[in-house]
Amino acid sequence: MLVFEFKAYGKKEQYHKIEEAIRTGQFVRNKCLRYWMDNRGVGKKELYRHCTQLRAQFHFAAELNSHACQAAVENAERAINRFYSNCKKKVAGKKGYPKFKKHSRSIEYKVSGWKLSECRKRIAFTDKKGIGLLKLKGSRDLHFYQIEQIKRVRIVRRSDGYYVQFCIDSPRIGLKASQLKNRAVGIDVGIKYFLADSDGGIVENPKFYRKSEKGLNRANRKKSKKFQKGKPQSNNYKKARNRYARKHLRVTRQREEFVKSVALRYIQSNDLVACEDLNVKNMVKNRKLSKSISDAGWSKFLMWLDYFGSVYGTKTVAVDPHNTSQNCSNCGKKVSKSLSTRTHICPHCGYVANRDTNAAINILKRAQNTAGHAEINAWGEMPSSLVGETLLGYGDSLNQESLPL
């Protein structure tokens, strides 16, 4: 599956219609969730029947395309199935009991309710919501794909406007620049440096959030000064909130493009890439390091590393991180050191190296002794390489990068 995204341009009235469609999809999803709460044990068929009853009862729900309503039902069903799955797996902590959505940002159509123009630069939504014709702007060319290959169309709202995503049923096949022979590398991610590899290479940490933190805090203060507790918010507050959200969106996009380029470079230049099997979700619970870990974007990097590995046929192996920084990569003996010690000096064999480079060599050695492929899955979700027709993975990760309007 491929997901292409385009910026959508239209009139102010059309944007209001998009918002109405998003609210209708949210209404259908929440009503189906309430129906499940009141009637435990109901399945997908019962939820679809309830959706049909909602369309007959509420005229604004009938105005939305029937397939878009079905997609909203599937959204509720995924939340229910995820809850049951976590209960069966006995996941520690909260099991993710389904919640009602209050501020949805997207509406999803299937194979009907929309029509592409002949030039593939415009899309018209043909249901009774009246969204109409939107102009598309992006770097992708939809002429390479048949209309039948487009399985889902999704309208996403972000702080800088509206976007249209196309989920295309076409495998992505990547070709390496040259045929590599037994070229492997180990990667150790960090905070001082973004990563160090087993070849001695170091990638500096750009620290996008840290560099923008002063401007973000200033925008947040301006927003807070315009907030009126217990009263309807003014247009000035909404504008300040949007400016603050745009700044966050810019930082998120900078981080996303950075980790994507680094992951692609390592995947294309190696036959095997080894990294630590990190549980980033638990690591960010450390209050002293959580901001730095989130700013580095380890989860995004591991996700793209796994995705590009599946595309280009590069083996990606995640190994146990235990003692990779403490053990000597030369003699294998343990050399205890604190986090502030950045140079590895082995008293047993006299080997001296950068702490992160030493860890990267240990990671590579463990990976070479590991049989098979250990999937890198830092978020605990389906990796990007397994994105299905429901626009999971890539689409959801994109939604996480911006605040609502």
Query: Per-residue confidence of the chain (405 residues) as pLDDT tens digits?
Result: 889 999 999 999 999 999 999 999 999 999 999 999 999 888 899 999 999 999 999 999 999 999 999 999 999 999 999 999 999 998 888 899 999 999 999 999 999 999 999 899 999 999 999 999 999 999 888 989 899 999 999 999 999 999 999 999 888 776 665 566 678 899 999 998 999 998 889 999 999 999 999 999 999 999 999 999 888 999 999 999 999 999 999 999 999 999 999 999 999 888 899 999 888 888 898 888 899 999 999 999 999 999 999 888 888 999 888 888 888 888 888 888 888 888 888 888 888 888 888 889 989 988 888 744 444 544 344 333 333 333 433 334 333 334 444
Q: Is residue 176 part of a domain?
A: no
User: What pLDDT is recorded for position 179?
Assistant: 61
| Phi, psi values for residue 253, rounded to 5° | -70, -35
Residues 123 and 220 both lie in one domain = no
Residues 191 and 159 both lie in one domain = no
Residues 134 and 157 both lie in one domain = yes
Q: Is residue 177 part of a domain?
A: no
Residues 70 and 10 both lie in one domain = yes
**HEC sequence for 85-148:** HHHHHCCCCCCCCCCCCCCCCEEEECCCCEEECCCCCEEEECCCCCCEEEEEECCCCHHHCCHH
Q: Is residue 174 part of a domain?
A: no
How many other CB atoms are there within 10 angstroms of residue 391's CB atom?
24
User: What pLDDT is recorded for position 77?
Assistant: 94
- For residue 357, what are its two tokens? 């480079």
Q: Is residue 179 part of a domain?
A: no
| Cα–Cα dist 404/105, whole Å | 7
Q: Is residue 175 part of a domain?
A: no
User: What pLDDT is recorded for position 398?
Assistant: 38
| Cα–Cα dist 199/354, whole Å | 12
User: What pLDDT is recorded for position 178?
Assistant: 53
| Phi, psi values for residue 105, rounded to 5° | -125, 5
Residues 82 and 8 both lie in one domain = yes
**HEC sequence for the chain:** CEEEEEEEECCHHHHHHHHHHHHHHHHHHHHHHHHHHHCCCCCHHHHHHHHHHHHHHCHHHHHCCHHHHHHHHHHHHHHHHHHHHHHHHCCCCCCCCCCCCCCCCEEEECCCCEEECCCCCEEEECCCCCCEEEEEECCCCHHHCCHHHEEEEEEEEECCEEEEEEEECCCCCCCCCCCCCCCEEEEEECCCEEEEECCCCEEECCCHHHHHHHHHHHHHHHHHHCCCCCCCCCHHHHHHHHHHHHHHHHHHHHHHHHHHHHHHHHHHCCCEEEEECCCHHHHCCCCCCHHHHHHHCHHHHHHHHHHHHHHHCCEEEEECCCCCCCECCCCCCECCCCCCCCEEECCCCCCEEEHHHHHHHHHHHHHHCCCCCCCCCCCCCCCHHHCCCCCCCHHHHHHCCCCCC
User: What pLDDT is recorded for position 348?
Assistant: 85
Q: Is residue 11 part of a domain?
A: yes
Q: What is the number of structural domains in the chain?
A: 2
Q: Which domain holds residue 9?
A: 2-169+390-399
Let me know if 369 is exposed, middle or buried by CB neighbors in 10 A (0-12, 13-18, 19+). Answer: exposed
- What's the whole-model pTM score? 0.82
Residues 203 and 347 both lie in one domain = yes
Residues 95 and 191 both lie in one domain = no
Q: Is residue 79 part of a domain?
A: yes
Residues 27 and 145 both lie in one domain = yes
Q: Is residue 404 part of a domain?
A: no
User: What pLDDT is recorded for position 181?
Assistant: 63
